[in-house]
Structure 1
Amino acid sequence: MKRYAYLVPVLFVIAFGGCRKEYEAPLPYTFTNSPGSGRFSPAVRQAIEGIYVVSDGSTQFGNEVALKWSYLLEGTDSTHYLSVFTGLDAAYFNLEGSSQTDSLVMNGYWRKLVNADIGLAHLVVQAKHNGRLQAFTGNLPVGDTLVIKGLYGSGKAAPTRPLTLQYIRPLNRKPFNIMAHRSGGRTSDLLPASENSVAIVKLASRLGATGVEMDVRYTKDGVPVLYHDNTLNLRLIQKSGLTGSLESYTYKQLSAFVRLINGEKIPTLEEALEAVVYNTGLKFVWLDTKYIGPMDPIQAIQQKYLQKAKQAGRDLNIVIGLPTTDALDSYKALKNKENTPILCELDTAITRSVGAGIWAPRWTLGPQTDEVLAMKAQGRTVYVWTLDEPTFIEEFINQNQFDGILSNYSPVVAFYHYTEQ
C-alpha cells in the first residue's frame, strides 16, 4: 500500500523527536491532592467546561483553548483537576480548585511540550453581566458569559502576566478516543512522571487522554511488566549497573535495583491496571505486545481486570494488541478466545480473519478512507497510531473517519478534538 507522502516540518521533528532531552522542566507547583471540590460543585465544573477565546495571553497560548475536568480517585475520596489545552506549542495547563476562599480560584501550572517553558498560573472564574465582571455563583443567567481571568508566570516566579479566557461554546462531544502512548506520555518529553509507570497512568487524564497504550514485556521469571525499549538504558532508567534486556532479569531483581527516570519502580501489568480501574476515569487500555511468548498470562490478567471494572461499575475496555505476525500466532494458539477483545495492527484481511473488533493502521499510510469506512460498516472501530504532528492530527480529526488517535502528545489531540466544529 502506498505510504502517505507527508513531509513533516523539520522544526517540529527537532522539537518533538530525537533522543532524551538535556534540559529539565521541573514542576513549579505542588498539588495539594485534597479530596472534595470545595465550591467547585458538579454543576459549577460542568458550566466551566468548554471552548474559550483567549484575549490577554493569546501570543503565548493561541487564540482558543479547551477546558476539561478530570479526576483522581483514592479510596472513597476524589480530587478534581481542570486541564486547559491550547493550540500553540502543545501547551497545556493543570489546575486545581481552591476551597480556602470565597471565590472560584484555581491554581496550578502551565507547560509547553515543544520546549522547557513552564510557569505558575492563578485564575479566578467570574461571570460577565451587562459588560461587567462579577463573582460566579454557579448560576449563569441568559445573556451572561463565563470569564476566567488571572495571571501566569515563568518558572517558579510569581505570576504577573495577564490571562483572560471568555467562554464561547461547548466542547465537541462526539465519541472519540484520545489514547496516550506509553501509558500517558514519553519520559523524553519531560513529563512529571516516567513513561509506563503507575504515576503516569494516574496523570494521563489530566494530559487529555481518555485511554492509554501500555507496553507489556515478561521478566525472566514470567511476570508481565510495563517497559518500552528492548534494553535497560539511561533513556528510561536511572543508573543501576544492570544492562541488557529486561527479559534477562527476574521481577525481584528489577524491583530491587532498577528505578525509572523519576524514581518509580517498573510496574507489573496488574499494578498498572489496578490504577486504571480504581484511580482513574480512563475508558480504554491497549496492551501493546512487546513480549515474545505465550499470550495466556496476558489474557488471564485482561479478563481479571475486565471483571473488576465491571464490578466497580466502570465503562472500561481492555484490548490485547496484535502488532506482528508473532503476536498473531500467540493469539491463535490460545485455547479459549472468548471474552478476549483484540486490536489488530495488520492488514484488513487479517483483521477480519481473526475477528478483531478494532483495526489500527499506522498514520503514515494516510487516511485510507475507503478501508476505514469499509471496516466501520462491518461494525469495527478504527484507530490510527502513533500520530504526533499537530497539522496531521487536526487533518485526521477534521476528516471525521477515525474513532481515535494514539499519540505521544495527548494534549494536542485533546485540543483539536474538543475544538472541532
Structure 2
Amino acid sequence: MKIYAHRGVASLYPENTLVAFQAAARMKCDGIELDVQLTKDGVPVVIHDETLDRTTDGTGWVKDFVYEELRKFNASYKFGEQFGHCPIPTLEEVCNFISHTSITLNIELKNEIVSYPTLEEKVYDLIHSYKLKDQVVISSFNHESLKHFRSITKDVQTAVLTENTIENTVDYILNLGASGYHPNFSTVTRELVKELDRCRIAVRPYTVNEPQVMQKFRDWGVESVITDYPQLMFTEPLR
C-alpha cells in the first residue's frame, strides 16, 4: 500500500510548505497531496483554505493578494521559531522539487468555493513544463473542473474527490474520464474496493490517521492512503 503525505507531513510540519514536502521525501513517502489556488495576479500557489487566517499570520482571501504580497506571510507561524519564515510556496517551486524525485504529486484543484478561471490550464502548463505527467494525479471536489482538465489533456491521471458516497460509483468515475477515486475514508467498504479494483480504478482514501484503519485498508488491498501521519507507517508494528 502506498503512502501519500497529506499536505506534506502535516502532523509534524507546517502544512503545504516546502519543509513539509521535503520531510515527506526524507520519509520516503510514495506521494504528496497538496492544494492549489490562484493569486490575484494568476500565480498558482499551494494553500488549503481560501483564506489566509488559519494557516498563516495573514488575514483575507488568497484571491485578493498578488503573489509578492502573499510571500510576506508566514505559513509556519503556529510553530513559533522552529522553522523560521515559511512562505506560501508556488506550485512551480513544488514541481521543481518533485521533478528531482520519484514521488507522485496529488494536486487538488481548490475551486469548489472560489472560481478560478484558467486554474486547470495553468496547472497543466507547469506539469508539462517540468515533464511530470507520469508523476501527477489531479483531484478536485469540483467534478466539472476534472471534466475540464480532461478536455485539456488525457495524459495526466485524474481522480474523483468526494466527501460522501456516490451512487453508481464506477460509472460516475468512468464518465468523468477519471482513473482514481479519493473518498472520505469513512465511506470506504471492502466491497467497493473490490469493485473498483476490478475496473482498475485506484482507491486512495483520505484522511487515514489511525494505524488500525491503515492496516484494515492494507488488508483490503487499497492502493494508497492519504495521511497526516505517514511516520506511523514506519514506526507502528503492522502485520
* TM-score after normalising by structure 2: 0.83
1:4-19 to 2 correspondences below 5 Å: none
SS, match of residue 287 in structure 1? strand
Unaligned runs of 5+ in 2: 77-82
- The letter of the residue matching 2:5 is A
The aligned residue for residue 136 of structure 2 is: 318
The aligned residue for residue 162 of structure 1 is: none
Residues 1:371 and 1:400: Cα distance change in structure 2 (over 3 Å): closer
1:239-388 to 2 correspondences below 5 Å: 242-255=58-71, 257-261=72-76, 262=83, 263-278=85-100, 280-282=101-103, 284-291=104-111, 292-293=115-116, 294=118, 295-305=120-130, 307=131, 309=132, 317-328=135-146, 330-331=148-149, 334=151, 336-346=152-162, 347=166, 348=169, 349-366=171-188, 368-388=189-209
| CA distance in structure 1 between the aligned counterparts of 2:146 and 2:102, rounded to whole angstroms | 30
Report whether the alignment pairs 1:209 with 2:29.
yes
Aligned residues: 221
Unaligned runs of 5+ in 1: 1-175, 311-315
- CA shift digits 1:147-169 (9 cap, x unpaired): xxxxxxxxxxxxxxxxxxxxxxx
- The letter of the residue matching 1:268 is T
Task: Give, in angstroms, the shift of residue 202 of structure 1.
Answer: 1.3
Larger Rg: 1 or 2?
1
Q: Which has the higher contact order (CA 8 A, sep 6+)?
A: 2
Q: Which has the higher strand share?
A: 1
The aligned residue for residue 56 of structure 2 is: 237
Task: Give, in angstroms, the shift of residue 328 of structure 1.
Answer: 3.6
Q: Tell me, yes or no, if the aligned pair for 2:147 and 2:176 is still in contact at 8 Å.
A: no
* TM-score after normalising by structure 1: 0.49
SS, match of residue 87 in structure 2? coil
The aligned residue for residue 232 of structure 2 is: 412
Q: Tell me, yes or no, if the aligned pair for 1:358 and 1:382 is still in contact at 8 Å.
A: yes
| CA distance in structure 1 between the aligned counterparts of 2:234 and 2:195, rounded to whole angstroms | 26
| CA distance in structure 1 between the aligned counterparts of 2:17 and 2:86, rounded to whole angstroms | 7
Segments ≥4 residues shifted beyond 6 Å:
none
1:391 to 199, 203, 212: 212
- CA shift digits 1:61-105 (9 cap, x unpaired): xxxxxxxxxxxxxxxxxxxxxxxxxxxxxxxxxxxxxxxxxxxxx
Q: Tell me, yes or no, if the aligned pair for 1:178 and 1:414 is still in contact at 8 Å.
A: no
Q: Tell me, yes or no, if the aligned pair for 2:143 and 2:160 is still in contact at 8 Å.
A: no
SS, match of residue 410 in structure 1? coil
Q: Tell me, yes or no, if the aligned pair for 2:9 and 2:21 is still in contact at 8 Å.
A: no
Q: Which has the higher helix share?
A: 2
Q: Tell me, yes or no, if the aligned pair for 1:407 and 1:413 is still in contact at 8 Å.
A: no
| CA distance in structure 2 between the aligned counterparts of 1:245 and 1:329, rounded to whole angstroms | 26
* Percentage of matched positions with identical amino acids: 24
